[in-house]
Chain A
């Protein structure tokens, strides 16, 4: 099954694989937040609505919510972040992923940005 990487205006990314969506934050977002010292993760099985806070990223200075880009059920969380929250800084697009959500039906990616579109969007930020 092909994978699609998409970005939101809230600086999150989605890796869409069928009806499973892996969510993380962009390199721009981790750089803005600074050193992440704690990630408050949801529980597997939690039901989330689109736009609802699903995780919290705590830096030394502040807390920042991660919003669910879709409605669905949390099917996996990145447990490595419990002991190594710095993975979000070091590898935001890969080892620093945050949760996986199973959506009902097929994920819609039409109004999300591709990598190229997101990079163009960042130039305007």
Chain B
């Protein structure tokens, strides 16, 4: 199992460690509920070093990004970030990633479990005069998330973040070393992600805890990361999206730009858009007691199977169960009542439109 430069810190904090995508990662420190609530009300820090980072440079970098992803990277100015998907010819999602426009090309931030697969895929489809480099082993990633994240980051780096908009980034320095600071996250809260050389890991982690102390900062494990992203209705690769689902089925159409030119999967996705999808990823809330989990069948009120749950949990913020799942398009309308088969019981749920949280 791989470790991150912060593994010793997690152990010293008493974290429960698990194998996640080949990395020994903290799943919780004090408890998922407390950590979840800390991010919703104060500020939490996450070690996300397992994520992969690739650099694309050279004259063909933009053409490469636009060929392997669904969104249009040509609209990005230096310092801007976009969410996008890598898709196969059949429209299946290889990964969902972030693209950062840098001064000399692009940074791609990819899911840990897909990093090797993504690298091989992009390498295979490189346009001429393009260099692809895997920076994953050199880069540590800490996320600072929550309503009090801005003052913590401002104090660490001694700067004002008022002008740093969502989905943009800048370069700051810490002890003379460059840190890529982006206003991004996976929690639904205001937050930042800090990418920097491994050698700074302990010092920056400690600085986050020290500067965050008066705001009630806590380290947050992968358990709360999952419940936070689900409340924010963000898909998780491997649960809600994978190579058998298309961005259009997953409700990610706004990240698919047909007017940008050729890209892998375009023909299939255009046809799917014209014909209409057969199923749609929907969010739902439970009406009766019971917690939906990945793989549980979704049923109509007659008990016929109309889909499958892809993510579900008891929402710590709302204090009732929520979930997402693929639903036959005939039923995929907000306010439709459905049932989830929870073990032997049929438990009522309601499809919703928009966010779980107000």
Q: Give the CA-CA distance A62 to B28 in the complex, in Å.
A: 13
Give the residues in chain B near A63, CB-CB below 8 Å: 291, 293
Interface residue A35 (Cβ < 8 Å from any Cβ of B)? yes
Given A35-B32, A35-B33, residue A60 in contact with residue B343 (CB < 8 A): no
Check B321–A38 contact: CB distance below 8 A. yes
Shortest distance in angstroms between B189's beta carbon and chain A's nearest beta carbon? 17
Interface residue A58 (Cβ < 8 Å from any Cβ of B)? yes
Interface residues of A, count at CB 8 A: 13
Bin chain B's interface residue count: 20 to 34
Shortest distance in angstroms between B291's beta carbon and chain A's nearest beta carbon? 5
Check A38–B291 contact: CB distance below 8 A. yes
Closest B residue, CB atoms, query A53 = B343
Check A34–B343 contact: CB distance below 8 A. no
Check A58–B291 contact: CB distance below 8 A. yes
Give the residues in chain A near B34, CB-CB below 8 Å: 35
Q: What 1/0 mask marks residues of chain B from 96 to 130 whose CB sits below 8 Å from any chain A CB?
A: 00000000000000000000000000000000000
Check A34–B31 contact: CB distance below 8 A. yes
Q: What 1/0 mask marks residues of chain A from 55 to 75 whose CB sits below 8 Å from any chain B CB?
A: 010111111000000000000
Check A38–B33 contact: CB distance below 8 A. no
Give the residues in chain B near A37, CB-CB below 8 Å: 33, 291, 314, 316
Closest B residue, CB atoms, query A31 = B16
Interface residue A40 (Cβ < 8 Å from any Cβ of B)? yes
Which listed residue (B223, B289, B290, B342) contacts A34, Cβ 8 A? B223
Closest B residue, CB atoms, query A58 = B291
Which listed residue (A35, A38, A59) contacts B289, Cβ 8 A? A38
Q: Give the CA-CA distance A59 to B316 in the complex, in Å.
A: 11
Q: Give the CA-CA distance A34 to B31 in the complex, in Å.
A: 6
Q: Give the CA-CA distance A34 to B343 in the complex, in Å.
A: 21
Give the residues in chain B near A40, CB-CB below 8 Å: 289-290, 342-343
Check A34–B314 contact: CB distance below 8 A. no
Residues 214-241 of B at the A interface (beta carbon under 8 Å):
223-224, 226-227
Q: Give the CA-CA distance A40 to B343 in the complex, in Å.
A: 10
Closest A residue, CB atoms, query B289 = A38
Check A35–B31 contact: CB distance below 8 A. yes
Check B314–A58 contact: CB distance below 8 A. yes
Given A35-B32, A53-B343, residue A60 in contact with residue B293 (CB < 8 A): no
Closest A residue, CB atoms, query B223 = A61
Given A35-B32, A35-B33, residue A60 in contact with residue B223 (CB < 8 A): yes
Give the residues in chain B near A61, CB-CB below 8 Å: 27, 32, 223, 226-227, 313
Check A34–B32 contact: CB distance below 8 A. yes
Closest A residue, CB atoms, query B16 = A34
Shortest distance in angstroms between A50's beta carbon and chain B's nearest beta carbon? 18
Q: Give the CA-CA distance A56 to B342 in the complex, in Å.
A: 10
Interface residue B40 (Cβ < 8 Å from any Cβ of A)? no
Which listed residue (B32, B289, B290, B342) contacts A60, Cβ 8 A? B32
Give the residues in chain A near B33, CB-CB below 8 Å: 35, 37, 60
Interface residue B183 (Cβ < 8 Å from any Cβ of A)? no
Q: 17 A-B Cβ contacts within 8 A?
A: A34-B31, A35-B34, A37-B291, A37-B314, A37-B316, A38-B289, A38-B314, A53-B343, A58-B314, A60-B33, A60-B223, A60-B313, A61-B223, A61-B226, A61-B227, A61-B313, A62-B293
Given contacts A34-B28, A38-B291, A60-B314, 4 further A-B contacts (CB under 8 A): A37-B33, A38-B289, A60-B224, A62-B293
